[in-house]
Amino acid sequence: MVLLRLFMLLFALVVSDLHSLSWFINVSESQGPGTVIQFFSFNCSSYTPTPTLELLNVQPPTTFFNPPSLARWQGTYVGKLTLSSSARLDALMVNHYKLWLKFTCGNYVTQGPLFVDVQRDLSHIQCAGRFASPAGEMIQVPETVRPGARLYILLLPGLELHGAQMSIISAQDPPHFPGPFSINEQGWLQAPSQGLLGQAQKVFQLQISVSFGQRQSCQGMVMVKVLPVSSSQVSFLKQAQNITIPENLAPGSEVVQVWAQGVNLRYEILSPMPSPFFSIGREDGVVRTTAPLELACTPGTAVSRLQVKAFEQHQPRDSAKLNFTLNVPLVNLWPPRCLPALLLSQIPETAPVGTVLTTLTCEDPDSVGATLDYKLWFRSSSDPASLCLYDRALEVNATLDCDTPGSCFQHAASILVLDGGQPQMTTEVPVLVMVTPVNEFSPACAPRMFRVREDAVPHTLLGSVVGMDMDYPHDNIEYYTSGGPPTFAVDRLSGEVHLLGPLDYEQQRVYRLTVLLIDHGQDQNPNCHRSGSCTITIEVEDVNDHAPECEPPFQELTIYVPLGRSVEVTKVSCRIPQEPQRLAFSYSIVGGNSQNRFILQGAVLVHSDLVLGPFWPEQPNTYELLICVADAGPSTPHLSTTATIVVHLVSWKASTEVTNIHRTTVSSIMTPMLVTDTEAFWQPQPWFVVVLTATGALLLLALGWLLGRLLQGLAQLLQAPSKPAQALLLNSIQGTEGSLEGFMEVSKMEMPKAPSSVKSLQHFDGRAQDPRTGRDYLFNTRTGARRWL
């Protein structure tokens, strides 16, 4: 095949130097996909654009041919046409194709046909049809067939012109076969020369071989069934019948079945011939309608007379006839016709009772002007009392309240229209009523009051505003604030009230916030909204955030105390300037009451010394008392401050005259003058502190080393002193000690006693003058410590 293609290519290159297209080629039907059908040779100048070869169309249309290819070879363009992957050539189906080709070389275009003739391939001829199937071809013949009669013709397409040889190869031995069947070259199967009488109900299997060409053959089977022939006469049991059938009997419906006596009978209608409205089954004798029996269109079908013949299949002369009459009475065929055929209506839920939705117009095609009956039947589970049918008008019968979930948004019903004919016909008109919601009610909410501590942090949830809306869907509300303080905000969807800013009980204790409620999604019109409002009150709860202040914060008193009696020293006066309404305080002595000589009775400081004993010193005793004053109200946290009271106790002896006895307190004589001293301080950076500390440590090490060397040299000098010098040094030391002791005693008498804790304090923020001595001193307002100037 490859050599053949090369030869065809060379031949095309040498011979096919053509300027017009017109070829006739023959192709065997055995050629498969990819087979080269034809080569083409074209001359085209190299100065022109690349030429093209196109397949314009194929007649008859098919996809068996690929688009042609075009390649340059030795200065000549060679085209090639091949079979496609879907090619299945069959000479019996299509044996001739016409392909129209177009060659383009620059501006030069030429077209022409290519005629392809598909040749029959004898090597592909096969037996086909039921003859070649495993079951074979079944034929039926009566036993009375004449001897040698032609029973069957075997037709094999494509073999009639090729001299096929046919023969029966299966055995035909008696006693089963009365004689051999035969078949000739034309495919005629002939009965045995002995005939088939007495072979009824037998089936003869004949295996037939078909040979053609060189060693080409196929096989098939033909089965011959012999049918018995009865010699009895054909007769009907009933000679005349009157049958009544309805007018609305559908085409193809069974009317009656006739029975006749006989063997292998067939039936046919003799009169009327042809029969336009009735037919009879050839084998079963069933009479059926073939067209509608409409008396209005064909009045002649009211009474039909039929004559039926029954005969034997193989002896048509043995027959019998039957006459019967078909009566077609008038029947109510058509249901009422209504306009409109479908009722669709849309009404708002506020439609008043009695509103007419639509009016139905119906008529009976069988009886124009007849009275019709109308009935309303609900399909959905909605309230059937909401709609009613009055005459032919569909009306609103009750209030359409759609504010209950799933109540009446859609009403599905049907109007049944019944006529008065027989049988009664009914027309159903579907009804669908859409009830649209209407925004009837405005949202509302109840006034609320919330409490919040004044130290609450922002975004604290205070509570929720609960809005209510009776329209469906219920409570579909959005919340907004209307002109309220920016300290609070309301969530748009949930209605939660949140704190946004800080609160101050002392500046404002009550806030009133107007909340605006707007509903949505409750009306057919999405822009229809209703609104409402309510006022919420927010009360700020007081939180203790200011400590008490005492006036004065420091007192120095001198009191004369009789022996064994309690004396009121002073009353501590404190208040909170920012919250003047808070007056409840607790008082306690937290320092300086070393001998428990003082007690507090509320805000009053009392000296209590009922048993003093005989050793009461005559010089005054000084006590520096620290009194803690804390608020005692319900607010938390409890803050406190400390007041300092310096008390000088002077004993009051019994021998003292009454006229000379007096009691004096600093607070009653003179109010100390308070001087506030603000000390500025420098706070260095941490890195500077580290550097300074390291430098100071190095300096101290250097000074310590230098001092050690000095002491070492001094010790060497003092190791060997003279005795006179030692005596002199000892006397000088003793003299010095005596003078120091005298100096210390004098100092002790002059300097007043002060607690060690007060002396250790180094920060004083106030200055005052002692009213008794007239000396100025500095004091600490928190601890009460003082320093004399």
The pLDDT score that the predictor gives to residue 617 is 53
Is 105 found in the same domain as 62? yes
Q: HSE of 228 in the Cβ direction (CA atoms, 13 Å)?
A: 8
Is 153 found in the same domain as 101? no
Task: Between 754 and 189, name the one with better pLDDT.
Answer: 189
For residue 220, what are the β-bridge partners? 208
The last residue of a domain, from among 119, 151, 166? 119
The pLDDT score that the predictor gives to residue 677 is 45
- Contact partners, residue 228, CB within 8 Å, separation at least 6: 142, 143, 200, 201, 263, 264
Task: Between 126 and 647, name the one with better pLDDT.
Answer: 647
d(CA 278, CA 304): 10
Q: Tell me, yes or no, whether 766 lies in a domain.
A: no
- For 28-83, the pLDDT digits (tens) are 888 889 898 888 888 887 666 788 889 999 999 999 999 998 888 877 888 899 99
Confidence of residue 117 (pLDDT cuts 50, 70, 90): very high
Pair of tokens at residue 649: 């106790």
Is 636 found in the same domain as 553? yes
d(CA 742, CA 748): 10
- The gap from C-alpha 294 to its chain's centroid, in whole angstroms, comes to 59
Other beta carbons within 10 angstroms of residue 338's beta carbon come to 20
Residue 555 buriedness (CB in 10 A; 0-12 / 13-18 / 19+): buried
DSSP state of 667: H
The last residue of a domain, from among 227, 258, 293? 227
Confidence of residue 682 (pLDDT cuts 50, 70, 90): low
The pLDDT score that the predictor gives to residue 22 is 56
Is 355 found in the same domain as 286? no
Checking DSSP bridges between strand 337-339 and strand 361-363, what pairing results, if any? antiparallel
pLDDT higher than threshold 70 for residue 673 = no
Burial call 382-406: b when 16+ CB within 10 Å, e when fewer:
bbeebbebeeeebbbbeebebbeee
- The gap from C-alpha 529 to its chain's centroid, in whole angstroms, comes to 29
- For 185-210, the pLDDT digits (tens) are 888 899 999 888 888 888 999 999 88
| Amino acid at the residue 542 | D
- For 371-403, the pLDDT digits (tens) are 899 998 887 656 677 888 888 889 988 878 777
Q: Tell me, yes or no, whether 718 lies in a domain.
A: no
The pLDDT score that the predictor gives to residue 157 is 64
Q: Tell me, yes or no, whether 132 lies in a domain.
A: no
Q: What are phi and psi of 474, to 5 degrees?
A: -65, 145
Instruction: Assign residue 582 a region (left: φ > 0; alpha: ψ between -120 and 50; beta: otherwise).
Output: beta
Tally the domains of the chain: 6
Give the residue from 587, 602, 573, 598 showing the smallest Cα distance to 649.
598
- Residues in the chain, overall count: 789
Q: Tell me, yes or no, whether 464 lies in a domain.
A: yes
Is 555 found in the same domain as 533? no
The pLDDT score that the predictor gives to residue 268 is 93
Is 193 found in the same domain as 246? no
Q: Rounded to whole angstroms, what are the CA distances from 433 to 342, 412, 415, 724, 764?
A: 11, 7, 13, 141, 93
Q: Rounded to whole angstroms, what are the CA distances from 310 to 140, 258, 527?
A: 20, 9, 83
What is the model's pTM? 0.38
- For 486-509, the pLDDT digits (tens) are 899 999 999 999 999 999 887 888
Pair of tokens at residue 276: 């336009």
Q: Tell me, yes or no, whether 696 lies in a domain.
A: no
Strand order in 165-168's β-sheet? 137-142, 216-227, 203-212, 165-168
- For 226-263, the pLDDT digits (tens) are 988 765 578 887 777 888 888 878 888 999 989 888 87
The pLDDT score that the predictor gives to residue 544 is 74
Give the residue from 298, 291, 206, 297 showing the smallest Cα distance to 253.
291
Is 195 found in the same domain as 108? no
- For the chain, how big is the Rg over CA atoms in Å? 67
Q: Rounded to whole angstroms, what are the CA distances from 303 to 188, 281, 309, 327, 712?
A: 51, 21, 20, 5, 164
pLDDT higher than threshold 90 for residue 465 = yes
Q: What is the mean pLDDT of residues 598-609?
A: 85
d(CA 363, CA 555): 117
234 near 265, Cβ under 8 Å?
yes
Q: Tell me, yes or no, whether 787 lies in a domain.
A: no
The pLDDT score that the predictor gives to residue 702 is 93
Is 113 found in the same domain as 65? yes
Mind spelling out the 3-state secondary structure of 319-370? EEEEEEEEECCCCCCCCCEEECCCEEEEEECCCCCCCEEEECEEECCCCCCC
pLDDT higher than threshold 50 for residue 660 = no
Q: What are phi and psi of 263, to 5 degrees?
A: -115, 135
459 near 404, Cβ under 8 Å?
no
Q: HSE of 602 in the Cβ direction (CA atoms, 13 Å)?
A: 6
The pLDDT score that the predictor gives to residue 657 is 37
Q: What angle do CA 372, 378, 384 make, to 5 degrees?
A: 110
The CATH number given to whatever domain includes residue 420 is 2.60.40.60
Is 417 found in the same domain as 388? yes
Other beta carbons within 10 angstroms of residue 318's beta carbon come to 19
The pLDDT score that the predictor gives to residue 724 is 40
Is 112 found in the same domain as 191? no
- For 550-560, the pLDDT digits (tens) are 888 898 888 88
- For 257-309, the pLDDT digits (tens) are 898 888 788 999 998 888 888 999 998 999 999 888 877 677 778 888 899 99
The pLDDT score that the predictor gives to residue 47 is 64
The pLDDT score that the predictor gives to residue 154 is 83
Q: HSE of 510 in the Cβ direction (CA atoms, 13 Å)?
A: 6
22 near 113, Cβ under 8 Å?
yes
Other beta carbons within 10 angstroms of residue 245's beta carbon come to 21
Residue 362 buriedness (CB in 10 A; 0-12 / 13-18 / 19+): middle
Is 344 found in the same domain as 378? yes
Task: Between 382 and 583, name the one with better pLDDT.
Answer: 583
- For 5-33, the pLDDT digits (tens) are 443 443 333 333 444 455 788 998 888 89
Q: Tell me, yes or no, whether 128 lies in a domain.
A: no
Is 177 found in the same domain as 95? no
Which residue segment(s) compose the domain that 572 sits in?
549-651
DSSP state of 67: P
| Amino acid at the residue 278 | F
Q: What is the mean pLDDT of residues 310-335?
A: 83
Task: Between 545 and 257, name the one with better pLDDT.
Answer: 257
The last residue of a domain, from among 436, 455, 471? 436
Task: Between 86 and 632, name the one with better pLDDT.
Answer: 86
- For 691-721, the pLDDT digits (tens) are 889 999 999 999 999 998 898 888 877 764 4
- Contact partners, residue 50, CB within 8 Å, separation at least 6: none
Could you please report the per-residue DSSP string of 673-713? PP---PPP-----HHHHHHHHHHHHHHHHHHHHHHHHHHHH
The pLDDT score that the predictor gives to residue 728 is 33
Percent of the chain's residues with pLDDT above 90? 21
Q: Tell me, yes or no, whether 758 lies in a domain.
A: no
Confidence of residue 92 (pLDDT cuts 50, 70, 90): confident
| Amino acid at the residue 312 | E
Confidence of residue 756 (pLDDT cuts 50, 70, 90): very low
Residue 663 buriedness (CB in 10 A; 0-12 / 13-18 / 19+): middle
- As a whole number, the mean pLDDT across the chain is 79
Specify which of 117-126, 311-320, 723-732 reaches the highest per-range mean pLDDT: 311-320
d(CA 766, CA 5): 128
Task: Between 429 and 657, name the one with better pLDDT.
Answer: 429
pLDDT higher than threshold 50 for residue 4 = no
Look up tokens 């007849």; give the residue: 370
pLDDT higher than threshold 50 for residue 448 = yes
422-427, Cβ contacts within 8 angstroms, sequence gap of 24 or more: 422/331, 422/332, 423/331, 423/332, 424/332, 425/332, 425/333, 425/334, 425/335, 425/336, 425/366, 426/335, 426/336, 427/335, 427/336, 427/337, 427/338, 427/362
pLDDT higher than threshold 90 for residue 427 = yes
